[in-house]
């Protein structure tokens, strides 16, 4: 059935447009607004633009943009500020002097050894 309908449409189009006649214009005038609707592809593009721009963008896009601007960006700015405060607070430890690093390392080893001895005894 679909093949027969397709072939029928091809035959009708061939008869209408094989030569220049007024027949297609007369049929288009009889069909009236249906012809205009078909020429505009049943207004699918207009419906799509209305749904995407007016409904989806306003109902989904704007709230998502607000959440991104206010909540997500605020959290990221807070994390960045916390990282700056933390890095500023430990900048004195990171002097680049190897002697200081060795002293910190030995202090840590002695502290861990004392902790293990204390736990082992008790």
Rounded Cα–Cα distance for residues 108 and 120 (Å): 18
Give a yes or no: residue 20 inside a domain.
yes
**Mean pLDDT value of segment 72-90:** 94
- pTM as predicted: 0.42
Give a yes or no: residue 58 inside a domain.
no
Provide the 8-state DSSP code for 22.
Answer: S
Give a yes or no: residue 62 inside a domain.
no
Give a yes or no: residue 14 inside a domain.
yes
Six token digits for residue 19: 């030569």
pLDDT at 92 over 80: no
Per-residue pLDDT band for 81 (boundaries 50, 70, 90) equals: very high
Give a yes or no: residue 122 inside a domain.
no
CA 19-21-27 angle, to 5 degrees, is: 120
Give a yes or no: residue 24 inside a domain.
yes
Cα dihedral 85, 90, 91, 94 in deg (nearest 10): -150
Q: Which domain holds residue 32?
A: 10-37
Give a yes or no: residue 32 inside a domain.
yes
Residues 6+ apart with CB under 8 A from 5: none
Rounded Cα–Cα distance for residues 40 and 38 (Å): 5
**C-beta atoms surrounding 120 within 10 Å:** 7
pLDDT value of residue 18: 84
For the chain, the domain total comes to: 1
Give a yes or no: residue 27 inside a domain.
yes
pLDDT value of residue 43: 86
**Mean pLDDT value of segment 59-83:** 93
Rounded Cα–Cα distance for residues 64 and 57 (Å): 9
């Amino acid at each position: 059935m679909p093949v027969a309908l397709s072939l029928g449409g091809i035959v009708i189009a061939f008869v209408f447009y094989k030569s220049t006649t007024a027949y297609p214009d007369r049929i288009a005038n009889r069909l009236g607004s249906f012809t205009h609707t078909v020429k505009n592809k049943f207004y699918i593009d207009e419906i799509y633009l209305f749904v995407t721009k007016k409904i989806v963008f306003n109902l989904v896009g704007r709230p998502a943009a607000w959440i991104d601007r206010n909540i997500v960006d605020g959290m990221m700015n807070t994390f960045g500020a916390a990282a700056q405060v933390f890095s500023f607070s430990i900048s004195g430890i990171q002097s680049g002097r190897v002697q200081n690093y060795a002293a910190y390392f030995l202090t840590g080893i002695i502290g861990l050894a004392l902790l293990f001895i204390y736990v082992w005894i008790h």
